[in-house]
Amino acid sequence: MMATVQATEHYIDITQDICGGRPRITGTRMTVADVALMRFQMNQSLEEIAGTYDLPLAAVYSAMAYYFDHREEIDQRSAQDAAFVEDLRQQYPSKLQAKLNMVRPHSA
């Protein structure tokens, strides 16, 4: 009889004081959500992600496997993070952007 091994446990780590407790590739600050974003929104292949960030390809595949197993939770947290950032942008508009707009006003 064959033993079942969970490869994601070898490559995915969750530590409360690193990356806010978000699941990440072990030994890095690259979160599972980061990998999913690069794959789906930036259209990068898993091989490109691994090569660009010098990660084991198996770790990147494990991150995607973990993402699919926890998709709803990860997507919800990512949406909350994006809403938080947008709220901060609304509360504290960029002073640099305001100055740039004064120098070169938008054409109508």
Predicted TM-score (pTM) above 0.85: no
User: pLDDT (tens digit, 9 = 90+) per residue, 65-81?
Assistant: 999 999 999 999 999 99
Q: Where are the domains of the chain?
A: 8-103
> What pLDDT, on a 0 to 100 scale, did the predictor assign at position 100?
84
Does CATH place domain 8-103 in 1.10.10.10?
yes
User: pLDDT (tens digit, 9 = 90+) per residue, 98-107?
Assistant: 888 888 766 5
Average pLDDT, the chain: 89
* Total number of residues shown for the chain: 108
| Alpha-helix runs per DSSP H in the chain | 8-11, 32-40, 46-52, 57-69, 71-91, 95-103
Distance CA 26, CA 92 (A): 35
Which helix (H) or strand (E) is 67 found in, with range?
Answer: helix 57-69
Q: Is the Cβ–Cβ distance between 40 and 82 less than 8 Å?
A: no
> What pLDDT, on a 0 to 100 scale, did the predictor assign at position 34?
97
Strands 24-25, 12-13: pairing is: antiparallel
